[in-house]
Amino acid sequence: MSWVNRALKGFFWFAFASFLAASIPHVAYFFRAFEPQATAGQDPLFYWGIAYALAVSIDVMIVLLSVTVAQLKHQRVGRGTILSIWAFILLLTGLSWFINWQYARQ
């Protein structure tokens, strides 16, 4: 693979991850809205931490599964395996899109 192809591939993955990273605060805000309000003696950062952990997990999982699909295609894995991973990627992407849409409506 030439350095141009490697640079383009690297830039693609960087841009893909950047777009998903931009949605993390929106997804975290969405999940935080469903957590209880902190009471006396509770740290509200705890619930924000959980909300951000969920948001990061969703968006990072989309990137990691996409990388996995790219690697599996080179290993000639069965079509059913790749399609099942794509289905999960699309499910997570749809969830992220829905949450960002709900955030934008507010």
d(CA 58, CA 60): 6
Amino acid at 53: A
Q: CB atoms < 10 A from the CB of 82, how many? A: 14
Q: Whose CA is closest to 56, among 68, 48, 44?
A: 48
Sketch the domain layout of the chain as residue ranges. 3-105
Looking up tokens 């289905």 gives 87
What does the pLDDT look like over 48-91, one tens digit per residue? 899 999 999 999 999 899 989 988 988 888 889 999 999 999 99
Q: Are 93 and 62 in contact (CB under 8 A)?
A: yes
What does the pLDDT look like over 12-57, one tens digit per residue? 889 988 888 889 999 999 999 887 776 777 777 888 899 999 999 9
pTM of the model: 0.79
